[in-house]
Chains A and B, each alone.
Chain A
Amino acid sequence: MARIKQRAIELLSDGTVMRVIGWEKGEGNCDWSPALFENAAEMENFVYGDYAGANLSKYCLKFNRQEGKTLVVLKPCDTLSFRQLLHEHRIDREKFYVIGAGCKGMKDEKGGLLKCSACKGKEFEVYDEIIDDEEAQKTTALMDRMAGVIELEKMTAQERFDFWRGELSRCIRCNACRNVCPACSCIKCVFDNPASGVQSKAPVTDFEENMFHIIRAYHVAGRCTDCGECSRVCPQNIPLHLLNRKFIKDMNELYGDYQAGVGENERTPLTSYTKEDAEPGIVYERGNA
């Protein structure tokens, strides 16, 4: 969208921001990459549009300590991740100028993104200004985002086990899911820490694949905004979002509806409690054994 580009150039030129995080075109038509622009001349290569699928909020961690403000272009769902990082005091609101960019659903070379098929809406949670367009407001979610989880819940335990073994056995432990995740913002991940006893660079046994993915999903439970980046980046096409959505669904059912990254409340379901909470045994009374 030309308006975003123009506005970013204005803000760069008048010194409001020192740099812009946005997208640039690649060698082909669909391979856009997140990119850094530091002056108006470089902004020549800035693009925004159908192939801007990446969630730029995680990059904010890189620029949080740098001098001056950074302009970041965020889509509606990306602003949830940004808000969550603010809640966790991982980024400083004063260091960023957020342009909320309207989104019609993003694509890659294979077509519409999976994460966009369960679009969470067009509201911007954080912004300094919004540059939207009417077209973007018209598009809606194509499917119920819990559909995949419900389908799995209907299976028997053995079927679920077989399903996840099939999926997780493809894992090559490249860590793309972790590194792209805006909620995985630990400076040193437990799986990178030689002293943790669980550091491992390869999925040597089934157990290690299970453990990595259970713990990764668990660590972001309650903080995961369901931005869908983990499944998008997985080079082995593992449907990782089904793990995160399971946690989201459970928390919604047991502890009340909650969407991470929305509102001012910094307490997530796992950092709060009520005296009337269900006992853990409840999970064994639901669904199929």
Chain B
Amino acid sequence: MSVSNPNWKPKIVAFCCNWCSYAGADLAGSGRMAYPADVKIIRVPCSCRVNPLFILRAFERGADGVIMCGCHPGDCHYTSGNYFARRRMTMLFSMLDYLGIERGRTRVEWVSAAEGAKFSKTMNEFVKTIYDLGENRKLGDLRCKK
């Protein structure tokens, strides 16, 4: 889909777990590793806290892409939260795909507290994907765009 609005800037929501990914983002910041300002981080206690409704709500309010970051499998602060989150997101992404929503608008990435560079790289990649996909028209509430 091409970008019809030349002033369009993507809105990207990143759910980051408090223990790994948020710290990873922090490290990216203190290490001066740049990532686009289009990414808005929402800190959650654990990737498992991310309810599928959160993802849909983000799209509803005008997000063009949603990414969820958590501790690497096996490293969850709460032992197993990210394992559950992994299954949940797999199922949700599959359903969004089934409904014909563009692939690539949703993503899961495991980022540890030591991986500032990975955080920055992931966000740069994701933002590029969203730029390529263009504005999210299939899954958002028009009333929020007024």
Contacts and interface: CB of A to CB of B under 8 A. Distances in A.
Direct contact of A and B (CB under 8 A): yes
Contact of A280 (B53, B93, B142, B143): B93
Secondary structure type dominating chain B contacts: helix
A243 B91 CA distance: 12
Nearest to B94: A283
Interface residues of B, number: 39
Contacts of A190: 53
A44 interface: no
A221 B56 CA distance: 17
A279 B91 contact: no
B84 interface: yes
B131 interface: no
Interface in B55-105: 56-57, 59-60, 73-74, 80, 83-84, 86-104
Contacts, number: 114
Contacts of B125: none
The winner among A204, A208, A250, A255 for most chain B CB atoms within 10 A is: A250
Contacts of A206: 142
B101 A161 contact: yes
Nearest to B104: A284
A163 B100 CA distance: 9
Interface stretch (A14-22, A46-54, A152-160, A230-238): A152-160
Contacts of B138: 161
Contacts of B97: 157, 283-284, 287
A189 interface: no
A210 interface: yes
Contacts of B104: 284
Contact of A246 (B87, B89, B98): B98
Interface size for chain A: under 10, 10 to 19, 20 to 34, or 35 or more residues?
A: 35 or more
Contacts of A273: 80, 83-84, 86-87
B84 A270 contact: yes
Interface string A256-272: 00000000000001110
Given A197-B57, A205-B141, A273-B84, A250 B91 contact: yes
B29 interface: no
Contacts of A204: 143
A250 B98 CA distance: 11
Given A221-B91, A254-B90, A283-B94, A158 B139 contact: no
- Please provide the 5 A-B residue pairs with the shortest distance between their CB atoms, ordered closest to farther: A161-B100, A273-B83, A160-B100, A283-B94, A207-B141
Interface of A: 152-153, 157-164, 190, 197-198, 204-208, 210-211, 214-215, 217-218, 221, 243, 246-247, 250-251, 254-255, 269-271, 273-275, 277-284, 287, 289
